[in-house]
A = this chain, B = another copy of it.
Amino acid sequence: MYYIGVDLGGTNIAAGLVDENGKIFSKGSVPTGRGREYQEIIRDMAALILELIKGQGLEVTDFKSIGVGSPGVPDCKEGKIVYASNIKLRDVSLREELGKYIALPVYVNNDANIAAYAESVAGAAKGYKTSVTVTIGTGIGSGIIIDGKIFSGFNNAAAELGHMVLKMDGEPCNCGRKGCWESYASATACIRQTREAAEKNPDSLINSLVGGDLDKIDAKTAFDAAKQGDKTAIAVVDTYIRYIGEGLANIVNSFQPEIIVIGGGVCKEGEFLLEPLRKYLRENTFAPAHNIKIAGLKAAEMGNDAGIVGAAMLRE
């Protein structure tokens, strides 16, 4: 038996056929065309799925279910998207609309929850009952897995850990609050912090690495310069890691997950990032003071496939 996973994004709809071990054996994508009515978007989603199935010489009856991940807030029980950021979907039943084209059970969840679920089922958190996956990108996405299941609170909107306030009255955040973790520890924030440091220290290696064009700074620039011993960059990276660590310490004190998985571009820094974070957690969380074991920290393993695999693995 096989499973279908769909990653509905603001730009593309990506779909994949997945086996029982969470391995994708066929995938494809079509543009979302996000200004369109939901009926058109879902019609294209169905066509993509049917094409993938046909391409493998399979039938719909060879599949057990379709899982769909989208940004925003789902109604998991009803198979609906209540609200999707960036896409024109408000209170839309994917179960009903997709069911018009394909006779399979449809499960829906939030994309960050699904990324965490994928890590739990087939990635870095496999074998751990309780995990938190934090994806550091433009913003901070996060998902919480408790006893192997997605935890999303009573209204399916939980696990917005990027929107914990860490510095009350601090940097304004897109969510309307001030000082959210996301506004200090996202890749966007890292770029801002790197740029500010480069402006103040024109002799820094940061400036040379981008040929003096500060618009070319990305979330990697400070890490690259720090690894070459540039003092300004080292200070930027130390502070940025501390921002990540402070949010992770809050997560540990609140949830005590067995493992924390870090995803997003920054996780490519590997131990250069993870080792100081582990140290930060040992020194700044409640449990180690009493010789109690705390969460391990690993880099995400599922990469871009997380959305498809996690969605395919969704169950009632």
The yes or no answer to A129 lying at the interface (CB within 8 A) is yes
Q: Is the CB of B168 within 8 A of A83?
A: no
Q: Is the CB of B250 within 8 A of A83?
A: no
Q: Is the CB of A161 within 8 A of B246?
A: no
Q: Is the CB of A249 within 8 A of B286?
A: no
Q: Is the CB of B155 within 8 A of A256?
A: yes
Q: Is the CB of B146 within 8 A of A287?
A: no
The yes or no answer to A77 lying at the interface (CB within 8 A) is no
The yes or no answer to A294 lying at the interface (CB within 8 A) is yes
List, in ascending order, chain B residues with CB within 8 A of A73's CB: 287, 290, 292
Q: Which chain A residues (281-303) contact chain B, with CB distance < 8 Å?
A: 283-284, 286-287, 289-295
- Which of B161, B249, B283, B294 contacts A253 (CB under 8 A)? B161
Q: Is the CB of B290 within 8 A of A82?
A: yes
List, in ascending order, chain B residues with CB within 8 A of A163's CB: 253, 286
What is the CA–CA distance of A250 and B153 in the complex, to the nearest angstrom?
13
Interface residues on A, range: 35 or more
- Which of B72, B153, B168 contacts A257 (CB under 8 A)? B153
The yes or no answer to A30 lying at the interface (CB within 8 A) is no
* A74 CB to nearest B CB, Å: 11
What is the CA–CA distance of A258 and B129 in the complex, to the nearest angstrom?
24
Name the residue on B nearest A258 (C-beta): B154
Q: Is the CB of B154 within 8 A of A129?
A: yes
The yes or no answer to A255 lying at the interface (CB within 8 A) is yes
Q: What are the 5 tightest A-B residue pairs by CB atom distance, in nearest-first order? A: A153-B256, A158-B256, A154-B258, A83-B290, A160-B253
Listed in ascending order, the chain A residues whose CB lies under 8 Å from chain B are: 72-73, 82-83, 128-130, 146, 151-161, 163-168, 175-177, 243, 246, 249-250, 253-258, 283-284, 286-287, 289-295
